[in-house]
């Protein structure tokens, strides 16, 4: 069979692929883009968009329940209409999915293939009956939920981020295995919808990559809403008991197992690289299955790049999109952009959100850099007290000698937006005094960021 020739093949219509296809096609390249399932990938269909839509519904429920404290009367008990809630979520994500698919199908110089793509050789890919070839291939295949081999896991009907989002009934008791980003967002949302919720975490604290004070504050906020948290679950086993699912946290003897109606596994992600035929293209992967790439996202095979979650260099939509920007700049704009130029940043969308940039306190201490630290509780932020949302705190870290900002954590209302003034100052490589000399708008959360920098003391 003679393959159909293209200048470039893009595999995966997630967060990097469509934009890259657009840039390549606009530059006159004949492009093929292949998607095996849902246009928009994880973020649009089973990740960011649907979860943040649920988080928004959960916030409304929470505000309605606490309305009296604001002098507002809401009659009757607050309940979640799961069917309506799901319909709203689906409407929001369908708009994004359809926009991406329509854009790609209408794109000049771009052919859309639907199906699973596999390498036949370093320049050829098969999608069902179709064989296509190109000298340049861009892999944007993303990842999926990891299913850990814990005892009993295949004997119970567990949920992942995909299947939980499909529920249109309220779980009576949701047990969330995994106390990190995905697990916490779902846990708080479903608690606010009215489920009993238990988080089971193997480690000694939630969000373990963060500082201990952040983990402690996150735990306190969740417990205040009635979420049960079981840490140090050194050995998790699952079993069925009638209609219920039993989760033991201690294999030897667990006197008080958690008994749930539903179990969500939120213990990490794995890359979609096991069924791509990478061996036929001489593309190397690491021991976790991530495609090995250099600083400009070139794989070990000439003419093949890997972008987004599948390269292990990031696990966010903004890192996937930044991968597209790096590849496009290097190939089409003759600029030199690199992965190592970017500053780590992300947010956990519990309420209040946790926003992070750069190094945290533990990492600064480990670096041995002379540093200054500033903190401020959200109780001392006017906007937060006016909104009645005073949980959390801000923390900033600065190099004592160069005055460069090393990193920040903001756990607090609007923290996910406010942190960008710190992030942009870091990108500008400007000293923290740029922020302390700037006049910020009152009353905002950002307005207090200069004050946190002004109140710093040496990190002892
Ligand atoms: C519950 C949840 C919430 C999240 N929330 C956030 C958030 O708030 N903010 C944030 O920044 N990130 C969030 N993320 C992470 C974010 O969704 C991912 O980092 C992002 O989607 C990665 O984009 P990607 O393009 O690398 O991969 P994906 O979006 O996964 O896209 C990969 C695409 O490739 C396709 N594909 C795979 N293999 C093949 C093949 N062989 N042939 C053809 N097509 C193939 C897939 O079908 C998919 O459409 C969340 C993730 C989850 C699970």
Q: What is the mean pLDDT of residues 246-270?
A: 88
Catalytic residue among 154, 288, 420, 442: 442
Instruction: Indicate if the alpha-carbon torsion angle 293, 109, 316, 422 is positive or negative.
Output: positive
pLDDT of 343 reads 98
pLDDT band at 1 (very low <50, low <70, confident <90, very high): confident
Half-sphere exposure of 91 (CA within 13 A, CB side): 6
Q: How confident is the model at residue 2 (pLDDT cuts 50, 70, 90)?
A: confident
Supply the pLDDT for residue 140.
Answer: 98
141 lines ligand 1 (CB under 6 A): yes
* Tokens of residue 127, six digits: 């999608």
- Cβ(16) to ligand 1 under 6 A? yes
Cα of first residue to Cα of last residue in the chain, in angstroms, is 69
The pLDDT tens digits of the residues spanning 368-400 come to 999 999 999 999 999 999 999 999 999 999 999
- pLDDT, tens digit (0-9, with 9 covering 90-100), for 126-183: 999 999 999 999 999 999 999 999 999 999 999 999 999 999 999 999 999 999 999 9
Q: CA–CA separation, 365 vs 257, rounded Å?
A: 38
pLDDT, averaged across the chain: 97
Alpha-carbon gap, residue 2 to 196, rounded angstroms = 58
Which of 89, 141, 322 has most ligand 1 atoms within 8 Å of its beta carbon, as the pocket-test mutant?
Answer: 141
DSSP 8-state assignment for residue 457: E
The pLDDT of residue 252 is 66
- Please answer whether residues 94 and 23 qualify as being in contact, where contact means their C-beta atoms are separated by less than 8 angstroms: no
Domain 4-145+270-341: which CATH number of 1.10.10.10, 3.40.30.10, 3.40.50.300, 3.50.50.60? 3.50.50.60
Average pLDDT over residues 23-34: 98
Per-residue pLDDT tens for 194-247? 999 999 999 999 999 999 999 999 999 999 999 999 999 988 999 999 999 999
DSSP state at residue 432: T
Identical fold between 4-145+270-341 and 345-458? no
Gap from CA of 316 to ligand 1 centroid (Å): 8
How far, in Å, is the centroid of ligand 1 from the Cα of 127? 20
Mean pLDDT to the nearest integer, 279-296: 98
Judge contact between 327 and 321, C-beta under 8 A: no
State in Å: Cα 133 to ligand 1 middle.
Answer: 25
* Residue 178 CB less than 6 A away from ligand 1: no
* Segment 432-439 mean pLDDT: 98
Inter-residue contact 344 to 408 (CB < 8 Å): no
What DSSP character marks residue 226? T
- 34 within ligand 1 shell (Cβ under 6 A): yes
41 CB within 6 A, ligand 1: yes
Give residue 235's pLDDT.
87
pLDDT at 253 over 80: no
Instruction: Give the model's pLDDT for residue 283.
Output: 98
Instruction: Assess whether 154 carries a catalytic annotation.
Output: no
User: Residue 305: CA atoms inside 13 Å, Cβ hemisphere, count?
Assistant: 27
The pLDDT score that the predictor gives to residue 198 is 97
For residue 315, report the distance from its CA to the centre of ligand 1, in Å: 8
Mutate to test the pocket of ligand 1, among 17, 44, 45, 47 (most ligand atoms within 8 A of CB): 47
Alpha-helical (H) ranges within 4-81 are 17-26, 41-45, 48-65
The per-residue pLDDT for range 298-346, each reduced to its tens digit, is 999 999 999 999 999 999 999 999 999 999 999 999 999 999 999 999 9
Ligand 1: distance of its center to the CA of 97 in Å?
13
Per the confidence metrics, is the pTM higher than 0.85? yes
Say if ligand 1 is within 6 A of residue 146 CB: no
- Domain parsing of the chain, residue ranges: 4-145+270-341, 161-267, 345-458
pLDDT at residue 251, rounded to an integer: 67
Domain range 161-267, CATH architecture = 3-Layer(bba) Sandwich (3.50)
pLDDT in tens, 179-208: 999 999 999 999 999 999 999 999 999 999
> How confident is residue 256, by pLDDT bands cut at 50, 70 and 90?
confident
Which of 283, 9, 14, 290 is CA-nearest to residue 124?
A: 9
Is residue 117 in contact with ligand 1, taking CB distance under 6 Å? yes
In 297-368, the DSSP E strands lie at: 304-306, 345-348, 354-358
345-458 belongs to which homologous superfamily?
A: FAD/NAD-linked reductase, C-terminal dimerisation domain (3.30.390.30)
**CA dist 300 → 61, 285, 291, 294, 331 (Å):** 50, 9, 9, 8, 17
């Amino acid at each position: 069979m003679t393959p159909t020739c293209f200048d470039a093949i893009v595999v995966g219509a997630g967060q990097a692929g469509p934009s890259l296809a657009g840039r390549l096609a606009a530059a006159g390249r004949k492009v093929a883009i292949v998607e095996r399932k849902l246009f928009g990938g994880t973020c649009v269909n089973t990740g960011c968009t649907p979860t943040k839509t649920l988080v928004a519904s959960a916030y409304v429920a929470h505000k309605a329940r606490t309305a009296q404290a604001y002098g507002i009367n809401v009659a009757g008990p607050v309940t979640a209409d799961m069917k309506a809630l799901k319909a709203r979520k689906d409407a929001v994500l369908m708009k994004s999915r359809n926009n991406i698919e329509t854009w790609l199908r209408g794109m000049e110089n771009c052919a859309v293939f639907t199906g699973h793509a596999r390498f036949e050789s370093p320049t050829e890919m098969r999608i069902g009956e179709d064989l296509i070839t190109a000298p340049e291939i861009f892999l944007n295949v993303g990842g999926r939920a990891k299913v850990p081999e814990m005892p009993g896991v295949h004997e119970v009907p567990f949920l992942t981020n995909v299947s939980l989002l499909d529920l249109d009934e309220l779980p009576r008791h949701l047990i969330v295995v995994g106390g990190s980003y995905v697990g916490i967002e779902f846990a708080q949302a479903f608690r606010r919808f009215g489920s009993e919720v238990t988080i089971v975490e193997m480690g000694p604290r939630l969000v373990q990559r963060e500082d201990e004070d952040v983990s402690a504050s996150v735990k306190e906020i969740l417990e205040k809403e009635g979420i049960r948290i079981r840490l140090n679950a050194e050995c998790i086993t699952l079993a069925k008991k009638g209609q219920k699912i039993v989760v033991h946290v201690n294999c030897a003897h667990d006197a008080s197992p958690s008994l749930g109606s539903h179990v969500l596994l939120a213990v990490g992600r794995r890359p979609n690289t096991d069924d791509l035929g990478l061996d036929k293209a001489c593309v190397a992967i690491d021991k976790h299955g991530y495609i090995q790439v250099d600083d400009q996202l070139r794989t070990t095979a000439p003419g093949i790049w890997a972008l987004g979650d599948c390269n292990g260099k990031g696990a966010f939509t903004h890192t996937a999109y930044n991968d597209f920007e790096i590849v496009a700049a290097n190939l089409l704009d003759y600029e030199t952009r690199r992965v190592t130029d970017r500053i780590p940043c992300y947010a956990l969308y519990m309420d209040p959100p946790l926003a992070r940039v750069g190094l945290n306190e533990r990492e600064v201490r480990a670096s041995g850099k002379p540093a200054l630290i500033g903190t401020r509780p959200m109780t001392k932020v006017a906007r937060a007290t006016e909104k009645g949302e005073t949980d959390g705190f801000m923390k900033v870290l600065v190099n004592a000698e160069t005055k460069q900002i090393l990193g920040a954590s903001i756990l607090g209302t609007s923290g996910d937006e406010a942190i960008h003034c710190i992030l942009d100052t870091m990108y500008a490589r400007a000293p923290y005094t740029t922020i302390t000399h700037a006049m910020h708008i009152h009353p905002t959360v950002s307005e207090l960021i200069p004050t946190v920098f002004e109140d710093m003391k040496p990190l002892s």
